Amino acid sequence: MKTFKSVGVVASFFVILVAVIFFFRYAGAEEVVNEEASSGEETKNVIFMIPDGFSAGYATNYRIYKGEETIFDQMLVGMMKTYSEDNWVTDSAAAGTAMATGVKTNNGMISVSSDGEELKTILEAANEAGKSTGLIATSTITHATPAVFASHVESRGSEAEIALQMIEKVDVLLGGGKSNFLPESEGGTQPKQHVVEEAMMKGFQFVETRDELLAIQEDYPKLLGLFAADAMASELERESTTNEPSLAEMTEVAIQTLSKQENGFFLMVEGSQIDWAGHAHDAAWAMTDTEAFEAAIQKAIEFAEQDGNTLVVVAGDHETGGMTVGGYDEYLANVDILHDVSATGNYMASQLNEERSNAHDVLVRYTNIELTKEEEERIMEASDEVLVIVINEIVSERAYVGWSTTAHTGVDVPLYAYGPSSHLFHGVLNNTDIPKRIAKAMKLELNVENH
Active site residues: 92
Q: Which helix (H) or strand (E) holds 93?
A: helix 92-101
Residue 317, marked binder: yes
Ligand-binding annotation for 86, yes or no, is no
What distance in Å separates the CA atoms of residue 225 and residue 212, rounded to the nearest whole number? 9
DSSP state of 309: S
270 assigned ligand-binding residue: yes
Phi, then psi, of 62 in degrees rounded to 5? -70, -35
Q: How far is the C-alpha of 139 from the C-alpha of 132, rounded, in Å? A: 22
- Residue 133 labeled ligand binder: no
Phi, psi of 401 (to 5 degrees): -105, 115
AA identity, residue 368:
N
Query: Which amino acid is present at 94?
Result: A
361 is in an annotated binding site: no
SS (H, E, C) 224-244: EEECCCCCCCCCCCHHHHCCC
Integer distance in angstroms from the first to the last C-alpha of the chain? Answer: 76
275 labelled as ligand-binding? yes
279 is in an annotated binding site: yes
Q: Would the annotation count 408 as a binding residue?
A: yes
**CA angle at 197 for the pair 192 and 199, rounded to the nearest 5°:** 110
Compute the chain's Rg from CA coordinates: 25
Q: Is 339 annotated for ligand binding?
A: no
- The rounded distance, in Å, linking the Cα atoms of 217 and 403 is 46
239 contacts: CB under 8 Å, gap ≥ 6: none
Q: CA quadruple 162, 167, 173, 174: dihedral positive or negative?
A: positive
Binding residues: 52, 143, 145, 270, 275, 279, 317-318, 408
Binding residues for Zn(2+): 52, 275, 279, 317-318, 408
Binding residues for Mg(2+): 52, 143, 145, 270
